[in-house]
Chain A
Amino acid sequence: MKGLLIISGLGILAMLAEVFKFKKLLLPLVLLGIVAAFAFNFMEWNTGLSIPYFDNMIGFDKPALAFSGIILATAFFWFILANDYFEEDTNLVDHFALVLFALVGALMLTSFKNMTTLFLGVEIMSIPLYVLAASKKHDMKSNEAGFKYLIMGSFASAFLLFGIALIYGASGSFDLHKISDYISANANDLPMFFYVGVVMMLVAMCFKVSAAPFHFWTPDVYEGSPTLITALMSTVVKTAAFAAILRLFLVDFAGVNELWKGILATVIALSLIIANFTAAMQTSVKRMLAYSSISHAAFMLMVILANVRSNLSLDAIIYYSLAYSVGSIAAFGVLYNVSRKGDETYSAFNGLAKRNPALALCMAVAMFSLAGIPVTAGFFAKYFVFTAMIGTPYKWLLILAVLTSVVGVYYYLKVIIAMYFGKAETTEKIAVEKSQLFVIVFTTLATLAIGIVPSFVAEMFKF
């Protein structure tokens, strides 16, 4: 809870920076604040108490703290990576404040105990992102991205709100526990509109994690937004949205799982097929990563499908989020540096092994991790999903996942082939700022480390 307060305070502080002229100090302050938030987060974890706040509107239990930890850590590295994104822009403070407020929304999504908090979290997280997506003001594509995201996002919010309203209508409460109790008390005669409400919420959340067929905004928004904002969307936002789904569907709507399981299975199957085959056809690496994020979303949804009411799925999703976030930060960090001249296609990666061997190696590890090759983090993430799925009746989905992840290897390897085999137009070296290189190398090493010693993470997040 203290973490959430600190990040909110930082956001307000960032807005004041212009007035009181401490713009230069802002980045160190933000980093310091995030570290402090992380530290408080960690202390709360150790005390092991889950205190509800504001009349049980919000509460940081262990899963919430774990997800918050991942989000804060990712944000920390993101800010280091993004330091020159802030420098070259004129509206420095606004961007800081927006990102920080998005972060506040993300933290709320990990810890809501009440439907209204959920809605607030979604909106607080999304609205800054609409603006950030369009933050390259003179770029048509960036404007398009922001606009598209806003329209589609509002649509999804409407769905969410309508769903909440219907559920409230049936159960008479916004409180997650009361809704859960209501379901178990009236298991056999729930009104029709309650089911409709659950499905509408599912649709809204699938939109937020960009699962097919609600994914159409993703490639355009990811491509149009500045690369670093895309990195933020595919890591922090994804993690937060999954934390929310996990809480909603595994804990509170578990009683009606027969209803949403079939829908979820269809969503997963569609996401796997559409995302992987479309990704294979992309020429832009950024778009490819957008589609790949859809396919990873499908994998995480599979865990939710596989294990209702079990800690195993919690472990698996937390591990998956961590592995995916770490790998993505590395990949987007490299992409950001490679595509400085505006070329985001595979050909921009041609000959990277000669132009900057360190970046190429990091990108190779990140790609192997996203493709799920041992001994990277991505492999264990996939392994946990497979293990979770194998005991379920959805074996066809498992086979589909295997087949499509082979397709996945195709487009990840294309990057590696381009880097090591493609002929570059220039032999000019790519210079990388030290702080950025640190983030890229660190996340790469982390990818390997949590791949080699997965028990470290598993032990850390024991529930």
Chain B
Amino acid sequence: MILTIISFIVAIATIIHVWKVRPFSTGICVVTSIGLLLLGWIGTIIYWIYILQGEKTSPKKTFNPTKGMEQALQFNGEPVPKPIKLRQDIAASLLVFTDIYWLIRLIAPLCGINLAISHILDSYIVYLPFLIAWGILCSIASNKVSRIASLIIIVFALIMLMPIETSPLTFAIFNIIKPLSLIYAYSLIIRSSNSISNGDKSWINTIIVFVIGGFFYTLFSLLFKDIDMQYSVTNPSSGFILWNIITYLFLAVAEYRMAKCAVFADSNDSEPTSKGVYSPLNKYLAATLISISTVLILMFLVYGNVDAIENIF
């Protein structure tokens, strides 16, 4: 509930900001404001109906897996109570919605449709459901490690929702810290429990890989500022947009699988999987550093010899 209240405060702050800056016409401003508040209300209603009602029927502290087995559904061999499954479904749907939205934003211009949605509104449409989803997941996290991971992602979502104007340097530093903290959070989720199936693990790993991939873009845009657009992957003829489309499809499946995995089954799994589970010096950090350095070295090789390369064809 606290998260919902915070979301509303941020929503109202954004609306005030939008009205002050007025990036588009008054009519669109009104529709946007109503839309934002409506989205907040929908979130609150969903929260109230499913989560609070779920709490009443299945109090967390007295949860007994054998009680009410007729309502329980099989999941990875473990029974998942219906109220918990409902929360998982809601969170999964919200996360999938964010990916589908980005996908539509990507495909619409290709079909000649100009959605004319501002960056602020984009952030709200994506990060408010994202925030609500992670609030739900945090409430059904099985142990302390996964709860901390959820909280890191919630903080990230809240920052993304803040209409803050920063200097380019602060923005660049944030863009470097953001993927690193997300990679750490997702790696905590994977390492928080031994009960995640191999299939789910492979999909959560995919999310980490895509976050690392996003990091490539960030560093590329920071280090290769002077590259002509026609030589970069942003050149439409490179076909890289196909990979962007595939990315969102993968992310939609991966986030769905993650929300439905054993970590978020409220199973009171308090056993730490390994010692040093919180250590950031793990293979995920190694993967980030090695892949990024490889990509950057190869990029330097390509962009250091652009003229020679372009003469090949």
A binds B: no
Write the residues of chain B forming the contact surface with A, with a CB cutoff of 8 angstroms.
none
Write the residues of chain A forming the contact surface with B, with a CB cutoff of 8 angstroms.
none
